[in-house]
């Protein structure tokens, strides 16, 4: 027990140092704000997106590891689908968010465990054992060592189990420009972060508004905020802050991710990559059974 407490303190201290140095975005604080607008409709959207990508109607009897649980929304979705859930996150506030969602919807539930841990800690992931589903959506490219994190994410997947990852698409110079934007955001004084984020998104927002006005449908732009749906149950402003500030930031092509896991004994079961631009390519792999 003392070893676990010491490990958690070390993670919290490391996280705090990286945030203070402008080397890491405070994802957890953004998700804490998101919880105030989380409703049943958004939760159901998350549930349906899991069902679609995992091609199932239920996760009853399955074990589900959420690496980088963030707000806790998809741990909650997996639990609602009947899975035994283990959530972990490097960010102290993200752990608190996930814990809050468990309190709200599955208070005292022994089939949902939550801890603070790093996706870069291979030994810790080995100690967790094997899982039917390992899920890490939009997380591993924020570790600062993406390829090592991708390697580690494969560790807890049992033979025949599924690995569901989503990684930012490599768009060349465009991605390089966003790397600079994200790094700059994280190094700004707190009072300047929101104005900077607003300034960054303003050109695209003005284009959207102008397009809706030209078509005489201003409500289209309004609905892009008031009825925002991204297929994962999120909120638009919190998604924007998560995007503008999301640093560390790494990217990969579809082929790179496919080849990486193919060499490690995984077969691609499902992919969503068309028209994502700078966003995430989504992959569901299955670990081939040992010969």
The pLDDT-based confidence of 26 (bands split at 50, 70, 90) is low
- pLDDT at site 2: 43
- pLDDT at site 127: 97
In this predicted model, what pLDDT tens digit does every residue of 110-133 receive, in sequence order?
999 999 999 999 999 999 999 999
Q: What is the pTM of this model?
A: 0.83
The pLDDT-based confidence of 1 (bands split at 50, 70, 90) is very low
Mean pLDDT in the chain?
89
Written as one string, the DSSP assignment of the chain is -HHHHHHHHHHHHHHHHHHHTTSS--HHHHHHHHGGG--HHHHHHHHHHHHHHHT-S--TT-EEEEES-TTSHHHHHHHHTT-EEEEEESSHHHHHHHHHHHHHHHTT-TTEEEEE--TT-HHHHHHT--EEEEEEES-GGGSS-HHHHHHHHTTTEEEEEEEEEEEEB--THHHHHHHHHHHHHHHS-HHHHHHHHHHHHHHHHHHHHHHHHHTT-HHHHHHHHHT---SS---HHHHHHHHHH--S---B-HHHHHHHHHTTTEEEEEEE-TT-TTSEEEEEEEEPPP-
Domain boundaries of the chain, sorted by first residue: 2-171+249-287
CATH architecture of 2-171+249-287: 3-Layer(aba) Sandwich (3.40)
Is pLDDT of 290 > 90? Answer: no
């Amino acid at each position: 027990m003392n070893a676990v407490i010491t490990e958690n303190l070390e993670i919290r201290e490391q996280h705090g140092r990286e945030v203070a140095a402008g080397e890491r975005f405070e994802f957890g604080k953004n998700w804490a704000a998101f919880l105030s607008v989380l409703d049943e409709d958004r939760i159901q959207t998350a549930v349906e997106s899991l069902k679609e990508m995992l091609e199932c109607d239920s996760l009853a009897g399955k074990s589900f590891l959420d690496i980088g649980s963030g707000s806790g929304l998809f741990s909650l979705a997996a639990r609602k689908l009947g899975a035994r859930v283990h959530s972990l996150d490097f960010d102290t506030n993200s752990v608190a968010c996930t814990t809050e969602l468990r309190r709200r919807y599955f208070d005292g539930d022994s089939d949902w465990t939550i801890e603070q841990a790093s996706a870069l800690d291979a030994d810790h992931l080995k100690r967790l054992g094997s899982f039917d589903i390992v899920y890490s959506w939009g997380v591993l490219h924020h570790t600062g060592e993406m390829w090592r994190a991708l390697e580690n994410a494969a560790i807890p997947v049992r033979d025949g189990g599924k690995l569901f990852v989503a990684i930012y698409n490599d768009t060349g110079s465009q991605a390089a420009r966003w790397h600079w934007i994200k790094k700059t955001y994280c190094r700004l004084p707190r009072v300047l972060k929101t104005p900077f984020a607003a300034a960054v998104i303003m050109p695209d927002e003005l284009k959207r508004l102008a397009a809706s006005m030209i078509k005489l449908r201003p409500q289209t732009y309004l609905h892009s905020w008031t009825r925002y749906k991204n297929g994962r149950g999120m909120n638009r402003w919190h998604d924007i802050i998560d995007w503008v500030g999301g640093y560390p930031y790494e990217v990969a092509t579809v082929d790179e991710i496919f080849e990486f896991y193919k060499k490690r004994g995984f077969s691609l079961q499902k992919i969503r990559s068309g028209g994502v631009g700078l966003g995430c390519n989504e992959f569901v792999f299955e670990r081939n059974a040992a010969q």
